[in-house]
Amino acid sequence: MPHLVILYTPDLDRPVSQGGSDMTALCRALAGTMRQQVDEVGRPVFPTGGIRVLAYPAAHHAVADDGEAQPAGGVAPDYGFAYLNLRMGRGRSAAAHQAVGQALSAVAQAHFAPLLPLRPIGVTLQIDEGPEVFDARHSSLHPLFNKPAQG
């Protein structure tokens, strides 16, 4: 953990020139931002080997009024939506939660900013923290990033 999952309307998979978004670029930018986060004493908020950012287009969706309020003779609005949910284990301070939330929100806002004037898009970021009722982990990723420094 931490895992940041993005669920979005599939219209956002279109090319940028057609009102879509580069979701891979968003995932990488968010992961980079997560790696940069430090707590009040300068320690990383998240272990690099635990960072996961995954994006999934929704197979089925309805957003807002689903185009029912379209203008007379007009084309139904093309509503887009992205829901970003960061799930992290317990133990981080409220200040770290706020700093991480603000940093991730700024990345998401900057990513979608070029589209917002062109079409209606909603973007929500939510952060959830334990308590877990069961937590099992098995990974060969963490050892890649927990090597002692060579000096």
**What residue type is assigned to position 60 of the chain?**
H
Distance CA 23, CA 13 (A): 7
pLDDT in tens, 88-127: 989 999 999 999 999 999 999 999 999 988 888 999 999 9
User: At 135, is the pLDDT very low, low, confident or very high (cuts 50, 70, 90)?
Assistant: confident
The CA distance from 127 to 22, in Å, is 23
Closest by CA to 34, choosing from 55, 51, 22, is 51
Residue 140: C-alpha distances to residues 49, 50, 101, 143, 145 (Å)? 9, 10, 28, 6, 10
- The pLDDT score that the predictor gives to residue 123 is 94
Determine the 3-state secondary structure of 31 from DSSP.
helix
State the Cα–Cα distance between residues 66 and 145, nearest whole angstrom.
Answer: 45
Beta partners for 55?
Answer: 6
Report pLDDT for 76. 54
Residue (of 47, 5, 13) closest to 30 by Cα position: 5
20-75: per-residue pLDDT in tens?
Answer: 999 999 999 999 999 999 999 999 999 999 999 999 999 988 887 776 666 555 55
Residue 118 in 3-state DSSP?
coil
Domain locations along the chain: 3-61+78-132
pLDDT for 43:
95
Strand bridging mode 80-88 / 3-8: antiparallel
Pick the CATH number of 3-61+78-132 from 3.40.120.10, 3.30.429.10, 3.30.1360.120, 3.40.50.2300: 3.30.429.10
Q: Residue 148 has what DSSP assignment?
A: P
What is the pLDDT averaged over residues 133-144? 73
CB atoms within 10 A of CB 118: 9
Residue 1: per-residue pLDDT: 79
